[in-house]
Amino acid sequence: MECLASAAGDLCWCQTYAADDFGEDFLNRYGWCEFVGMRGLVKSQRLACGVLMLAPHTTYPAHRHVDEEIYIPISGAARWWRRGDSWKAVEPGTPIHHPSGISHAVKTDTAPLAALYLWREGDLTQKSLIC
């Protein structure tokens, strides 16, 4: 996490959504940086990998996408939800799996969340569908 924090100012942070999707406040509290993928430094059309950042007290609302997704939180406890399950507190280092097409969401508490993400299959630049 210290390495990410020290490099944060030099990384290319992106956002998938617009204010019409989840509101302007969400855009001030969310971003991601892709390391591998169609938008990453290392090009790949088969997978995307990067880091998601969420500010404290932020809800990343329910969404879904064709791509299968794995998150590995690296800093900050958060609660994660996917359709068919209840909200679960997940500690850093515990992987979270979202199968293709399943609705899912995440909420931070008092700490910011940094989580590695991995996407595979589907259109790696596809905007998620809001549920």
Residues that bind Fe ion (CB under 5 A): 69
Of the pair 5, 14, the CB lying nearest Fe ion is at 14
Distance of closest approach, residue 25 Cβ to Fe ion, in angstroms: 20
CB of 104: closest distance to Fe ion in angstroms?
A: 6
Please give the structure tokens belonging to residue 25. 């406040």
- 2/87 with CB nearer Fe ion: 87
Q: How far apart are CA 50 and CA 118, in angstroms?
A: 7
Give me the residue label for tokens 């169609």. 38
Radius of gyration of the chain from Cα atoms? 14
Which residue, 34 or 69, is less far from Fe ion as judged by CB?
A: 69
> In the complex, what is the shortest distance from the CB of residue 128 to Fe ion, in angstroms, rounded to a whole number?
6
Sheet containing 68-75: which strands, arranged edge to edge? 30-36, 47-54, 113-120, 68-75, 96-98
Q: Any idea what DSSP says for residue 72?
A: E
